[in-house]
């Protein structure tokens, strides 16, 4: 079966009031795999979770505005000086964004 056929089968069975566990047992999937496919189908078709939902938060961590600058450091990519907030800071702001965009699969 193709992915589209499996999704159509899941949607048909869910319209028949089958639970995710029952659908998974019929199709040889886990309950979480069934729920994930339904959720991805909903979001692809315009579903947006409510702002109060625990799934609606932004997953990127933002720097705490109350953090104290501990000194100056030199970026290991462009060698410009920047304000360091931690002894573990290695990159200036623009380079950090560039590194994060290239390694977003690791986050």
What pLDDT sits at residue 35? Answer: 93
pTM: 0.49
Is there a contact between 34 and 16 (Cβ–Cβ < 8 Å)?
Answer: no
**Percent of the chain residues topping a pLDDT of 90:** 32
Is there a contact between 41 and 11 (Cβ–Cβ < 8 Å)?
Answer: yes
Q: Tell me which residues of the chain have a pLDDT lower than 50.
A: 106-107
Q: pLDDT per residue over 80-105, tens digit each?
A: 898 888 888 888 888 887 777 665 55
Convert 58-86 into a string of H (helix), E (strand) and C (coil): CCCCCCCCCCCCCEEEECCCCCCEEEECC
What is 17-68 written as a DSSP string? T--HHHHHHHHT--HHHHHHHHHHHHHHTT----TTSTTSS--SPPPPTTPP
């Amino acid at each position: 079966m193709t992915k589209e056929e499996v999704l159509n089968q899941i949607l048909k069975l869910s319209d028949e009031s089958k639970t995710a566990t029952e659908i998974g047992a019929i199709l040889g999937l886990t309950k979480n795999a069934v729920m994930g496919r339904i959720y991805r189908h909903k979001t692809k078709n315009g579903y947006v979770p409510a702002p109060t939902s625990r799934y609606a938060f932004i997953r990127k961590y933002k720097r705490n505005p109350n953090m104290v600058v501990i000194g100056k450091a030199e970026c290991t990519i462009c060698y410009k000086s920047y304000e360091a907030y931690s002894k573990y800071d290695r990159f200036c702001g623009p380079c950090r964004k560039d590194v994060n965009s290239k390694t977003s699969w690791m986050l």
